[in-house]
């Protein structure tokens, strides 16, 4: 019998199993009927569905709640499972990880302390070690799962800050004065979470020094050396260099090995933001693109991007476990100093924390790392093929491509000869908006050399060149229709 409060207890196990089975059926049926990645609903129409629901009203039975969920959520969700979704760094997810999700939420372990997770703690630790070995770190390494790349980057930079403040061992210098002198070195292509972290840490976003890039939008190691020297000459304290292994837009990979040489010469912390490129750790064909990552002090990996894991799943991995102490805090009731138990809270910025790593565990046990790497490689192959397609005569008349992809993004724009360069940004902005409203395909837009371009982020290994050409055709048709109706021409 369903209980009125629906609490999962020993007595409601049958209800629990029946409810979940029914929910999975409902979702599976919805997915099998999916016609496009998005319904095209507007925020106003969505609000008209969500707003009237009275959360203090009478409760619903299972069928009632499923019907309502379809109405307010599923019917208009954005489906990353559809290969015509090619906008942001969201991936379709592997089934073994979804299996793990069932356990993660129902067992509801909290990974802060041993006494709330037991074996879960050891599973997480083993996955951290496994990832560290893939990076090339030794036995002294450590790390922790986080909610995403933003949090991983913040934690890495917090550890770097701790190390920089330790190194600045002038006991008479007030902390605030030291903080004001700290600088982080990144590029204009780095993820915005670097500036955000600087801001959160009280350094101000201005503490991030933008190092020039080369023609492929990668950090220039010579310019980095100059920037570091110049900072030192101005009595500033270089706290960390952030190299990006896979920039969010162009997929550019900074020359990590040469950057590591510069960091070593200047005794500066090297953080590698591999939120996107981290999937290459599993690649059997392109692992070399991450050469030098083993020389980093800290690395961000987003499993929920290129490892086909459901949100959230990310990790920050450090070369030297000792550095994790900068986030350690002892509470008498939770992890007292004398405890001697494997308490993950000592290494995390969170306290109560989901057992997200279990998803990677079941994935490695059922899918295997090579298959994950192959899936990511397939999307990179697709991006490369699409680049050549776009430079082909048939397409080149209508499209420009920013540069040859390194990973799985293609930055391009619709610009037939008759379009004035001054109108190209507005036109491509409108194309993206029209496409999203139509729901037949979802692409992203971004800024390239100060103008609005379109971006395909390919993370669906089941996509085909033919299918993606259909998507490009849709972009082209939309572009020409806008030109005909609005006359954005020279």
Ligand X SMILES: *Cc1c(COP(=O)(O)O)cnc(C)c1O
- In the set 89, 243, 427, 474, which binds ligand X (CB under 6 A)? 89
Q: Is 275 in the site for ligand X (CB under 6 A)?
A: yes
For position 148 contacting ligand X by CB under 6 A, the verdict is yes
Contact 152, 300 (CB under 8 A): yes
User: In sequence order, what are the residues at sequence separation of 6 or more whose Cβ sits closer than 8 angstroms to the Cβ of residue 328?
Assistant: 346, 347
Number of residues that bind ligand X (CB under 6 A): 14
In the shown chain, the binding pattern of residues 26 to 45 toward ligand X, with x for contact by CB under 6 A and - for none, equals: --------------------
State in angstroms the smallest separation of the CB of 449 from ligand X: 20
Residue closer to ligand X, measured from CB, 113 or 300: 300
Task: By CB under 6 A, tell whether 316 contacts ligand X.
Answer: no
Position 93 contacts ligand X (CB under 6 A):
no
Within 10 Å of residue 76's Cβ, how many Cβ atoms? 18
Q: Which is nearer to ligand X, 90 or 344 (CB)?
A: 90
Residues numbered 169 to 228 that lie near ligand X (CB under 6 A) are 191, 193
* Backbone φ, ψ for residue 303 (5° rounding): -70, -25
Nearer to ligand X (CB atom), residue 149 or residue 479: 149
Among residues 113, 248, 335, 460, the one that binds ligand X under rule CB under 6 A: 248
**Which H/E stretch holds residue 242?**
strand 237-244
Binding to ligand X, residues 283-302 (CB under 6 A): 302
The answer to whether residues 334 and 165 touch, using CB atoms and an 8 Å cutoff, is no
Residue 150 interacting with ligand X (CB under 6 A) = yes
The distance of closest approach from Cβ of residue 383 to ligand X in the complex, given in angstroms and rounded to an integer, is 15
462 CB-near residues (< 8 Å, 6+ apart): 83, 92
Beta strands in 310-370, from DSSP E residues, in sequence order: 314-318
Nearer to ligand X, 220 or 273 (CB): 273
Distance between CA atoms of residues 224 and 44, nearest Å: 47
Query: CB neighbours of 477 closer than 8 A, spacing ≥ 6?
Result: none
Question: Can you say whether the dihedral through the CA atoms of 52, 57, 58, 61 is positive or negative?
Answer: positive
Name, in order, each residue with C-beta under 8 angstroms of 378's C-beta and a sequence gap of 6 or more: 461
121 is a contact residue toward ligand X (CB under 6 A): no
Select the residue whose beta carbon is closest to ligand X and give its number: 149
| Residue 279 sits in the site that holds ligand X (CB under 6 A) | no
310 counts as binding ligand X under rule CB under 6 A: no
User: Which residues lie near ligand X (CB under 6 A)?
Assistant: 89, 148-150, 153, 191, 193, 244, 248, 273, 275-276, 302, 314
């Amino acid at each position: 019998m369903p209980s009125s409060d629906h609490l999962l207890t020993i007595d409601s196990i049958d209800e629990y199993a029946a409810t979940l089975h029914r929910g999975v059926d409902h979702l599976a049926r919805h997915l099998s009927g999916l016609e496009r990645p998005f319904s095209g609903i507007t925020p106003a129409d969505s609000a008209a569905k969500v707003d009237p629901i009275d959360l203090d009203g009478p409760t619903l039975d299972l069928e009632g709640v499923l019907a309502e969920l379809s109405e307010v959520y599923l019917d208009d969700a954005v489906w990353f499972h559809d290969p015509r979704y090619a906008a942001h760094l969201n991936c379709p997810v592997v089934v073994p990880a979804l299996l793990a999700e069932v356990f993660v939420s129902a067992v509801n372990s909290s990974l802060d302390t041993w006494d709330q997770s037991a074996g879960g703690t050891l599973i997480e630790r083993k996955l951290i070690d496994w990832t560290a070995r893939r990076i090339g770190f030794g036995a002294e390494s450590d790390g922790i799962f986080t909610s995403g790349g933003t949090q991983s980057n913040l934690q890495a930079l917090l550890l770097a800050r701790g190390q920089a403040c330790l190194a600045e061992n002038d006991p008479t210098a007030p902390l605030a004065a030291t903080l004001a002198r700290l600088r982080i070195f990144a590029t204009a292509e780095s993820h915005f979470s670097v500036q955000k972290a600087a801001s959160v840490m009280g350094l101000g976003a201005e503490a991030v020094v933008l190092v020039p890039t080369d023609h492929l939008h990668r950090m220039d190691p010579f310019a980095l050396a100059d920037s570091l020297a110049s900072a030192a000459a101005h009595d500033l304290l270089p706290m960390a260099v952030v190299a990006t292994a896979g920039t969010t837009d162009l997929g550019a990979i900074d020359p990590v090995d040469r950057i590591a040489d510069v960091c070593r010469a200047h005794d500066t912390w090297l953080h590698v933001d591999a939120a996107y490129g981290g999937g290459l750790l599993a690649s059997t064909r392109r692992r070399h693109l991450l050469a030098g990552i083993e020389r980093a002090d800290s690395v961000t990996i987003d499993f929920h991007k290129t490892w086909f894991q459901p949100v959230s799943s990310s990790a920050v991995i450090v070369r030297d476990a000792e550095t994790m102490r900068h986030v350690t805090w002892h509470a008498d009731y939770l992890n007292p100093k004398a405890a001697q138990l494997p308490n993950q809270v000592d290494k995390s910025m969170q306290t109560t924390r989901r057992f997200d790593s279990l998803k990677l565990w079941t994935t490695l046990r059922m899918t295997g790392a090579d298959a994950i790497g192959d899936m990511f490689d397939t999307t990179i192959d697709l991006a490369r093929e699409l680049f050549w397609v776009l430079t082909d005569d048939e397409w080149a008349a209508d499209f420009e491509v920013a540069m040859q992809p390194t990973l799985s993004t293609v930055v391009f724009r619709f610009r037939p000869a008759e379009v004035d360069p001054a109108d190209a940004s507005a036109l491509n902005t409108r194309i993206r908006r029209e496409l999203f409203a139509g729901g037949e395909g979802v692409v992203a837009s971004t800024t390239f050399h100060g103008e609005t371009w379109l971006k395909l982020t390919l993370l669906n290994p089941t996509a085909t060149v033919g299918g993606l050409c259909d998507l490009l055709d849709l972009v082209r048709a939309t572009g020409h229709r806008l030109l005909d109706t609005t006359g954005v021409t020279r």
